[in-house]
């Protein structure tokens, strides 16, 4: 595939209090960023289940953007730090699957940082574009013909390591 024309699909997880509002603010301020990212709103970045991320990759996403409040500014005290730990372990885990860890990116964005979030999205899209489409043969093997990772299979894949990360 010609990388010049490759349009990656990125799934972004946002927290209801900071980063989703930053995305709203980017809109209100008419800041432009590439349309490759599709956002899912959660209450908190601490809600991010590693399975979500793996499911996104299995379902055809080329990158996953995890966003939350800045450390110390979590609406739920410090759940964003749990997202941080999970992200770091996720990056290690996906690397073991042969996925470039850069495909999982964590960005802190406060409700005031619309421009910052938009810039981070633009940067990530360019980076993933440079990496090219995700190729994850392990999942194909696990699932047979299906390209969808069921939660059940995912939890097998995820292994104890992620349970540790979740804590």
Asked if 131 touches another protein (CB under 8 A), the answer is: no
Show contacts with another protein in window 92-111 (CB under 8 A). Answer: 110-111
Nearest to 64 by CA among 74, 82, 44, 49: 49
Member of 19, 67, 79, 91 binding another protein (CB under 8 A): 79
Residue 27 vs 132, nearer CB to another protein? 27
Asked if 112 touches another protein (CB under 8 A), the answer is: yes
Asked if 66 touches another protein (CB under 8 A), the answer is: no
Binding mask 142-161 for another protein (x = CB under 8 A): ------x--x---x------
Q: CB of 131: closest distance to another protein in angstroms? A: 18
Member of 6, 31, 92, 127 binding another protein (CB under 8 A): 31
Instruction: Write the secondary structure of the chain as one string of H (helix), E (strand) and C (coil).
Output: CCHHHCCCCEEEEEECCCHHHHHHHHHHCCCCCCCCEEEEEECCHHHCCHHHHHHHHHCCCCEEEEEECCCCCECCECHHHHHHHHHHHHHHHHHHCCCCHHHEEEEECCCCCHHHHHHHHHHHHHHHHHHCCCCCHHHHHHHCCCCCCCHHHHHHHHHHHHHHHHC
Question: Which residues on neighbouring strands pair with residue 14, listed in sequence order?
Answer: 41
Residue 96 vs 146, nearer CB to another protein? 146
The count of other CB atoms within 10 Å of the CB of residue 141 is 8
Asked if 17 touches another protein (CB under 8 A), the answer is: yes
Enumerate binding residues for another protein (CB under 8 A).
9, 11, 17-18, 20-21, 23-24, 26-28, 30-35, 38-44, 46-52, 55-56, 59-61, 69, 72-73, 75-79, 82, 86, 110-113, 115-116, 118, 148, 151, 155, 163, 166-167
């Amino acid at each position: 595939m010609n990388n010049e024309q490759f349009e990656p699909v990125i799934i972004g997880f946002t927290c209801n209090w900071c980063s989703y509002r930053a995305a709203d603010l980017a809109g209100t301020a008419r800041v432009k960023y590439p349309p490759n990212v599709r956002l899912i709103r959660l209450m908190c970045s601490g809600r991010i289940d590693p399975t979500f991320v793996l499911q996104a990759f299995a379902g055809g996403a080329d990158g996953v953007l995890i966003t939350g409040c800045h450390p110390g500014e979590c609406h739920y005290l410090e759940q964003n730090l749990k997202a941080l730990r999970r992200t770091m372990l996720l990056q290690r885990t996906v690397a073991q699957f042969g996925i470039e860890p850069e495909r999982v990116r964590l960005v802190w964005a406060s409700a005031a940082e619309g421009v910052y979030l938009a810039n981070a999205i633009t940067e990530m899209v360019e980076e993933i574009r440079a990496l090219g489409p995700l190729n994850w043969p392990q999942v194909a093997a696990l699932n047979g013909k299906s390209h969808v990772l069921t939660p059940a299979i995912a939890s097998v894949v995820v292994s104890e390591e992620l349970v540790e990360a979740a804590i």
